[in-house]
Amino acid sequence: MPAAPTIGVLAVQGDVREHVAVLTDLGMGVVPVRRPEEVERIDALVVPGGESTVMDKLVRAFELEEPLRRRLAEGMPAYGSCAGMILLADRLLDARPDQHTLGGLDITVRRNAFGRQVDSFEEDLDFAGLEAPVHAVFIRAPWVEEVGDGVEVLARVASGEAAGRIVAVRQGPVMATSFHPEVGGDHRVHAEFVRIVSSRA
């Protein structure tokens, strides 16, 4: 029986442990990624939530930017939650002038679009491909302002002032959500990513 794919979790900052726990529960081999040589050992990457500007600075300080950008350009599957969506976006709005992204998704993302920490909220969302709604936890979350032609919209906010805003997308083997399924107790979003990874292994 072939070994399960190895999924790396970018481990420079953010809610790394939560993603590791979910992926482990789903039977994946998991590697925390902090060094360039670890990038070459993984079949896919998860970019966790956290502080996107800090994560960007640490990715560059640890010399991870070039190998990660290269692997993504080569087609490595990736999933980003919250700040991870920001790091995987090709374009940012309201970002610091010196902020970099890893790219991989032909989307424009607005950082902290839903407001500050006190504006965090939870909502059940219809998610493409899943029968029952996903319980989504939004914490200082971004949203997607614009998607390219090859990007599939997976979920939108259902109610309130932000109704209709795009909060989950997929382009080929790369997926991202504005919310944090790793803290909501619902593993189905991660299971969708595992399915993508396994289909390409």
> Which pTM was predicted?
0.94
Among 19, 180, 190, 192, the active-site one is 180
pLDDT at 118 over 60: no
Contact in structure between 97 and 80 (CB atoms under 8 Å): no
Average pLDDT, the chain: 93
Among this protein's residues, is 37 annotated catalytic?
A: no
State how many domains the chain has. 1
Give the residue with greater pLDDT, 51 vs 161: 51
The answer to whether residue 104 is domain-embedded is yes
**End-to-end Cα, the chain, rounded Å:** 13
pLDDT recorded at residue 185: 82
What are the φ/ψ torsions at residue 40 (nearest 5 degrees)?
Answer: -80, -15
Domain that holds residue 125: 6-200
- The full DSSP string for 33-90 is E-SHHHHTT-SEEEE-SS-HHHHHHHHHHTT-HHHHHHHHHTT--EEEETHHHHHHEE
Among this protein's residues, is 187 annotated catalytic?
A: no
| CATH code assigned at 79 | 3.40.50.880
The answer to whether residue 87 is domain-embedded is yes
Among 18, 38, 65, 82, the active-site one is 82
The answer to whether residue 1 is domain-embedded is no
Cα separation values, 8 from 46, 60, 75, Å? 6, 17, 15
Q: 3-state SS of the chain: helix, strand, coil percent to 5?
A: 30, 30, 40
Among this protein's residues, is 182 annotated catalytic?
A: yes
Among 182, 187, 190, 192, the active-site one is 182
Cα separation values, 181 from 54, 75, 127, 176, Å? 21, 24, 12, 11
- Pairing mode, strands 121-125 and 134-138: antiparallel
Split at pLDDT 50, 70, 90, the class of 116 is: low
The answer to whether residue 95 is domain-embedded is yes
Q: For 173, which DSSP code?
A: T
pLDDT digit string (tens) for 68-83? 999 999 999 999 999 9
